[in-house]
Structure 1
Amino acid sequence: MKLTATQERILHAAAGRPSHDIEPLPPNVNAGIRQRVIDGLVKRGLVEFKRGVYRISTAGHEAIGKPPKTDKPTLRSGTKQARMIELLRRPKGASIEEIVAETGWLPHTVRGTMTNALKKRLGLTLTSEKAEGEPRRYRIA
């Protein structure tokens, strides 16, 4: 796939950014041609529009010879978050109250950590079950 010098600069810059965002575009891409340049990259599958942002795609990485980084966030052992994950990995899982007792966090901090850190950042799948007369239990699927 033959790329123009501008397309190549955009893709190389995006591949080097942690967010893989194509913005900011090079100075030679003025407001008049900005959308045409982006549309050309999207049409060729080199760029994807996700969550309101244009980012380099896997095909874009391949086109410039830079494989996409697949580094997953690492989890440090001995942290409160790591202990929370251990509790959630048990067959019976854990209740909010058990996690609060183990970490010393407030209940809203535990719920926020489940949503932001575990689900969104680490990509874990959480399930919950509520038995009659028992607290809701969460576990990692």
Structure 2
Amino acid sequence: MTKLTETQTLILTRASARPGNLALPLPDGLHGAAAKMAIGRMVKLGLIEEVEANLRRNEPLWRETGDGHGTTLIATGAGLDAIGIEPVVVRTMAALRDAKPEAIAAAQRPGTKQAQLIAMLQAPEGVTIAEIAEATGWQAHSIRGAISGSLKKKLGLEVTSEKVDGRGRVYRLAGNVDPAIR
């Protein structure tokens, strides 16, 4: 596998966070000949592909092909694989919320504490602050800050909490409720 440049990684990461894995718009400062070279190399490596743009959905154009048509760029499965993101996960997360691409991409990086926190909150039985603290090594105020700031505000996730007898306050992502608790 070819080692990705910072630019290639940035393009693919942003694409993974967009509906349909759109690779456009390109990062600031990447235009003209540099953009053509970077995209040409990525197409050759099979990381992105050029497809017909859906102008009804206002998809950004890479090139105009004439007669009111054009092409756009999308990240391929191989491209998403190259940055360690499974395409199924990307589609699911993009459908769940409308957030900044950089924030979604950060949440999808495997092995991060934020990804671990999201996985714990997805459990049907939920998770307590103490359980999160034990798993991550964070203090309680940091966990509450991550939930309200990173997850709720930046990513737009709906995190619920409720008092559960014998456990205390249990947090979970909305929609992931253990039927036995209700």
TM-score by length of 1: 0.49
Based on CA coordinates, which of the two structures has the bigger radius of gyration? 1
TM-score by length of 2: 0.39
